[in-house]
Structure 1
Amino acid sequence: MIETKIRKVGNSAVMTLTTEMLTILDAKEGDTLFVARGDDGSLKVMAHDPSVAAALEAAEIVMDENRDMLQALA
């Protein structure tokens, strides 16, 4: 487990990613990261993955096309 700190920058809270974390993520400054919440409340940080981006884009299209039905089910 790697420990990091949260600090305030302007009106935002920022988590510092160490060089070790960036290496593990295969990411660099300026890259896009995805954060997903697990069923247990944990957070998973993932480097940009084109297949994930494509799946999210497809899901957004489906949600837009079926907005009324999804709202009725909610």
Structure 2
Amino acid sequence: MLAFKITTVGGSAGIILTKEAMAQLKVKKGDTLFLTETPDGGYRLTPYDPEFERQMRLAEDILHDDREILRALAK
């Protein structure tokens, strides 16, 4: 487990990620991180956009359910 202290960053508050934390998260400077709530009421810091993931699941469902229509349209 990694621990971080909240610090002042300009007029805001933030945390500084160590090289080890950035490597574990597989992120680099300039990437966006998302704080998401877990089912048990906790929180998770992740580089994966939950909204994008939801949209991709919907797209996969459409591609699967309507594959015959999409094949006909592709001709």
TM range (shorter): 0.5 to 0.7
Question: 2:37 aligns to what?
Answer: 37
For residue 55 of structure 1, report the CA deviation from its aligned partner: 2.1
Question: 2:25 aligns to what?
Answer: 25
4+ long deviations beyond 6 Å? none
**Root-mean-square deviation (Å):** 2.9
Q: Is the 1:31–1:48 Cα contact (8 Å) retained in structure 2?
A: no
Q: Give me the TM-score of the superposition, normalised by structure 1.
A: 0.59
- One-letter amino acid matched to 2:14: V
Q: Is the 1:5–1:15 Cα contact (8 Å) retained in structure 2?
A: yes
Q: Give me the TM-score of the superposition, normalised by structure 2.
A: 0.59
Question: Secondary structure of the equivalent of 1:31?
Answer: coil
- Extract unaligned runs of 5+ from structure 1: 57-74
Change (3 A) 1:38 1:52: same
Determine the C-alpha separation between the residues in 2 that align with 1:7 and 1:13. Answer: 6
Determine the C-alpha separation between the residues in 1 that align with 2:15 and 2:9. Answer: 10
Determine the C-alpha separation between the residues in 2 that align with 1:17 and 1:8. Answer: 14
> Which one has a bigger Cα radius of gyration?
2
For residue 43 of structure 1, report the CA deviation from its aligned partner: 1.6
- Extract unaligned runs of 5+ from structure 2: 56-75
Question: Secondary structure of the equivalent of 2:52?
Answer: helix
